A and B are shown apart, each in its own frame.
Chain A
Amino acid sequence: MNKTNPILKMRNITKTFPGVKALSGVNFQLYAGEIHALMGENGAGKSTLIKVLTGVEKLNSGEIFLEDQAILARTPSHAQELGISTVYQEVNLCTNLSVAENIFIGREPMKPGRIDWNTMEKRAEELLGRLNIRIDVTKTLDNYSVAIQQMVAIARALDVSAKVLILDEPTASLDASEVEKLFTVMRQLKQEGLGIIFVTHFLEQVYEVCDRITVLRNGALVGEYITADLPRVQLVAKMIGKDLAELSSCSKLDAADDAGSKEVYIAAHNMQKQGTIYPFDLDINKGEVLGLAGLLGSGRTEVARIIFGIDKPDDGEMLIQGQKKKVAEPIEAMKAGMAFCPENRKSEGIIANLTIRENIILALQAKMGWSKYISRKKQQEFAEKYIKILSISTPSSEQLVKNLSGGNQQKVILGRWLLTNPELLILDEPTRGIDVGTKAEIQKLILELASDGMAVMFISSELDEMLRCCSRMAVMRDKKKIAELAGNEVQESIVMQTIAGVH
């Protein structure tokens, strides 16, 4: 291992998207024969860094050196030719083709005039054998688990003679034994002198295989650390952006907590969905803000989706105000008094080509049914009301929602749900990608709603705002609810330790 001379160097990488600085002056280096974790919460700039490196996005300024040669990948396949291969979480292979073909398509061994299937299959077996995978390479890829598919993707990458291998969230959909198998392969490749960049959200996995960690936050470099020297709590602190020293002095400002007198609005019992979320119990009281804390992929969103009737649970029951209710569709959840601001604003929230007015009244109208049409005048009133309350900046309520900024779109969705006058409001990352001022407004709104007696379930990647808003917190890790914190326990250091899994 040559510690003085990295195989890959990225210097001063800057990338801006219209209105957003995704990366500002980030440095990154990777040595041959190491596994290097790239960490950070949402919007930290991990995926942008990878995209710049693999030629999906063009950088604005900065330099990239591969083995001391300045390079600039134009496309992913160009990056591959240069020796930088990526294996994505959603495997980018053709599952309808055979395993062997997936490794070699585009570079098939040929006999005069035709593809030489025998050689191809033999070479595929050899290549997979190197990774200790012994499977029938003539079968199509969809016969195999995602884990194997990932191995095949790695094999394909290796055959193009990769120097740098990027694994982008490869473990998100694997179970424990599959993860172990992947790690074995990663360690072996490391022995063979490959540089591996490992992007993940799972702390335990980082500590299991990675030699070093680079942490990004808000598009800037936080630092590069040797894994062994960085305690978990500190890693979480770096990702979330809080210093540990600062933490211990900070305590929860206790707003007269009368948890005992509160009425339970919804009680979920033993809810579960195989492969998505382990069984969980959860109570949400009226007039409280319950936080769902945990890193990305820990199962926060899945809990919300099951409660709101988007995904069907395999087992478990739900009591709403003491009544057993089956919620199989969002409309049923709404009729039971729920509202849900989804995490993915563009694809699950806004109806881009409709006006602000139509977007705001949509849920109320759906709840009332198609025949009870809200008059145009009433619609106008409702829209104006929420444009004012939420201070949505727009010239008129007839503006198309797609023309608004992200923050204003979020407010429109909030308006849509507040108009239905819900008893339980589920907010999944309501402040993501929103400017600081708007964030504060939304947090204030959440507290006001709760003090008016609404039950709020709040999911966010930013611990700060969770601490500010939540009176109780459920902590999630690895698709499991692992703890519930209330009262004095709702404290930064405790929450972080719980998330990180050290007590």
Chain B
Amino acid sequence: MKKLQSNLKYLGLFITIFLFSILFAVGSVMYDGFFSLQVLLNLLIDNAFLIITSIGMTFVLITGGIDLSVGAVVALTCMLSAHLLEKVHMSPFLVIPLMLIMGSLFGFVMGYLIQSFKMQPFIVTLAGMFMARGLCYVISIDTITISDPLYQAISQFRIPLPFDSFISIGVVIALVTLLAALYLANYTKFGRTVYAIGGSEQSALLMGLPVARTKILVYTLSGFCSGLTGIVFSFYMLSGYGLHCIGLEMDAIAAAVIGGTPLTGGIGFMTGTLFGVLIQGVIQTLIMFQGTLSSWWTRIAVAFLLCVFIILQRVILSKKESRKVLTNTAAKAS
């Protein structure tokens, strides 16, 4: 029993990895040409941007918060980079760091509002989303195509791998981000404080941890990830457009949740999030290979998974709570 309980935490993660393998195996059996390294790598290539945002989102979710602005901030980054590159003719070497700073700043302001004025994260980031989308349109209503040579070059560059396969620069950036996130989450005081806040903000305060600073930094980090996503996405799409990445925030949340990060905070796995993204990708690929099913099935399937995982997490939580009830009723008595 005890063993089972200790594994409950990882249950979501195991199920996700297992599910991913199953889905990939099913695809391989059913469709010719599915079982290849390149199909697997394409999952990464097509979802590199989602991996980066989802990692930022995972950090926010671990603290028990939420960031609905990510999709809009990505769109804003694309739009602003396109504008600066094409209309202002700024050097890409200046644009890229500038975009990262802008994303971080955007996150910082939201984090500051949330922490200092005890505003609900969900409302503040909603406002952030409106703001970022609106700013996109302030820059331009129409699509701006990026023709900058460096962006073009990066976009077309293929890093060759054995067995005639390749990946894009975006994948490299995503994987580096993943490694950095793993280090940050598991080997730094900042990362551990993030988990502690999600476990119990009250306890974290009593243990003398820098709660306020960490919470603001988490939103800043998410903003930074959105900025980075914006850059990777503009490599991928080579354009800026106000309607880019609508609903990306939901995909990112779904990736984190399916990867074993409950929305109640305190628990979260960066690797899980990677698989959360890959599952969405593999579903998409399956539907593509199948040919007759339409793309909206992806959405329904993802929502179904999301639902199952949320209910699963709720069940795990209530199991834990039933053990805590004893404590609480006794606590109430005194």
Contacts and interface: CB of A to CB of B under 8 A. Distances in A.
Interface stretch (A12-20, A135-143, A207-215, A411-419): A135-143
B237 to A, nearest CB: 36
Contacts of A156: 207
Interface of B: 2, 5-6, 9, 183, 186-189, 192-193, 195-196, 198-200, 202-204, 206-209, 266-267, 320, 325-334
B187 to A, nearest CB: 4
A302 B195 contact: no
A344 B187 contact: no
Nearest to B191: A115
A94 B188 contact: no
Given A105-B192, A139-B6, A93 B334 contact: no
Given A139-B6, A140-B6, A140-B9, A105 B329 contact: no
Given A93-B203, A108-B192, A142-B320, A80 B208 contact: yes
B208 A169 contact: no
A58 B187 CA distance: 38
Contacts of A114: 183, 187-188
A92 interface: yes
Nearest to B197: A94
Given A97-B196, A201-B334, A297-B330, 6 more contacts: A89-B334, A95-B199, A96-B195, A106-B209, A142-B320, A172-B333
B266 A94 contact: yes
A341 B152 CA distance: 73
A115 B187 contact: yes
Interface of A: 76-77, 80, 89-90, 92-97, 101, 105-106, 108, 113-115, 139-140, 142-143, 146, 156, 169, 172-173, 201, 274-276, 296-297, 299-302, 311, 344
Contacts of A275: 325-326, 329-330
Question: Which of A94, A101, A274, A302 has the largest number of chain B CB atoms within 10 A?
Answer: A94
Contacts of A344: 332
B199 A94 contact: yes
A204 to B, nearest CB: 16
Contacts of A101: 192
B206 A92 contact: yes
25 contacts: A77-B208, A89-B331, A89-B334, A90-B327, A92-B200, A94-B266, A96-B199, A96-B266, A97-B195, A108-B189, A115-B186, A115-B187, A140-B6, A140-B9, A142-B320, A146-B327, A172-B333, A173-B331, A274-B326, A296-B334, A297-B330, A297-B333, A297-B334, A302-B333, A344-B332
Contacts of A297: 330, 333-334
B322 to A, nearest CB: 10
Question: Which of A89, A96, A114, A139 has the largest number of chain B CB atoms within 10 A?
Answer: A96
Question: Which of A77, A97, A156, A296 has the largest number of chain B CB atoms within 10 A?
Answer: A97
B209 A105 contact: yes
Given A114-B183, A115-B187, A105 B207 contact: yes
Give the secondary structure class of A's interface: loop
10 closest A-B pairs by beta carbon, nearest first, are A94-B199, A77-B208, A96-B266, A114-B187, A96-B199, A275-B326, A173-B330, A173-B327, A92-B203, A297-B333
A301 B9 contact: no
Contacts of A90: 327-328, 331
B334 A172 contact: yes
Nearest to B187: A114
B330 A106 contact: no
Nearest to A142: B320
A93 to B, nearest CB: 6
Question: Which of B195, B267, B331, B332 has the largest number of chain A CB atoms within 10 A?
Answer: B332
A311 to B, nearest CB: 7
Nearest to A47: B334
A286 to B, nearest CB: 28
Given A76-B206, A114-B187, A173 B326 contact: yes
B329 A311 contact: yes
A94 B195 contact: yes
B330 A96 contact: no
B207 A92 contact: yes
